[in-house]
């Protein structure tokens, strides 16, 4: 049976664990060669090994997205080796500390905004040309409803996701009529991840869905022909 992404190249950020790791495995299972990025090389190697063990292919690219020139170097390497990027999953993010707005630490807030917003814009800018070369490029951004529905003590993270959504949707509108790029946002809702555990330390992990279900939804979005600007929220 033909795999849906056979011969395509995918890049997944935050691929060392949780939703990113599950998404990388799911895309690889559908035939994509997946570039895995995250800060932890050891964890990326484990995901790569799992992909290879099931007959898929992947390449690890350990990097810190907020490190100077790291994204540009990655984009240059991808362009030199493959030329075209078909799938970009913007999953990497940081929660920061949950606190009242007046108590937000300025340095930590800057870090949250740098990774959750500035680095995402840099990724789009760096890979735009490779995406435009694809016959059917798809960009999926992983978001959170707190970017649209403000919640007490979630101001920093929520503000970053609001800005992230605006960037992603603006990019989708800019490229839809002049390229084969289509852009979507997915709000996975409550999911069994390290970020969720940090935000809700007393919660039973078994009470929320596993990241594999979110990965399946991302695969569906990548395979679909939804218009740019599509936003989907899982329960």
Residues serving a catalytic function are 157
The position carrying tokens 């350990």 is: 62
Provide the token pair at 90: 């913007």
Spatial separation of the C-alpha atoms in residues 162 and 14, rounded to whole Å: 19
Helix (H) or strand (E) holding 110, with range, is helix 106-113
Of the candidates 130, 114, 117, the residue with the CA atom closest to the CA atom of residue 75: 130
CA angle 101, 123, 39 (to 5 degrees): 75
Helix ranges, 8-69 (H): 18-29, 41-53
CB 77 within 8 A of CB 206: no
Biggest CA–CA distance in the chain, Å, is 56
CB 54 within 8 A of CB 104: no
Sign of the torsion angle spanned by Cα atoms 183, 133, 13, 103: negative
């Amino acid at each position: 049976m033909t795999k849906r992404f056979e011969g395509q190249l995918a890049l997944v950020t935050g691929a060392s664990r949780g939703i990113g790791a599950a998404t990388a495995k799911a895309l690889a299972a559908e035939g994509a060669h997946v570039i895995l990025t995250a800060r932890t090389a050891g964890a990326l190697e484990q995901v790569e090994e799992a992909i290879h063990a099931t007959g898929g292919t992947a390449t690890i690219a350990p990097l810190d997205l907020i490190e100077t020139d790291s994204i540009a170097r990655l984009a240059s390497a991808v362009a030199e080796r493959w030329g075209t990027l078909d799938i970009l999953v913007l999953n990497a993010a940081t929660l920061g500390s949950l606190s009242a707005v007046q108590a937000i630490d300025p340095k930590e807030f800057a870090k949250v905004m740098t990774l959750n917003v500035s680095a995402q814009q840099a990724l789009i800018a760096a890979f735009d040309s490779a995406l435009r070369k694809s016959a059917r490029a798809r960009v999926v951004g992983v978001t959170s409803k707190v970017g649209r529905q403000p919640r007490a003590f979630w101001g920093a993270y929520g503000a970053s996701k609001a800005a992230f959504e605006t960037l992603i949707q603006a990019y989708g509108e800019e490229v839809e009529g002049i390229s084969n790029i289509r852009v979507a946002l997915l709000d996975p809702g409550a999911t069994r991840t390290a970020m969720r555990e940090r935000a809700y330390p007393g919660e039973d992990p078994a009470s929320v869905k596993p990241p594999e279900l979110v990965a399946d939804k991302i695969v569906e979005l990548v395979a679909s022909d939804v218009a740019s600007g599509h936003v989907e929220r899982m329960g």
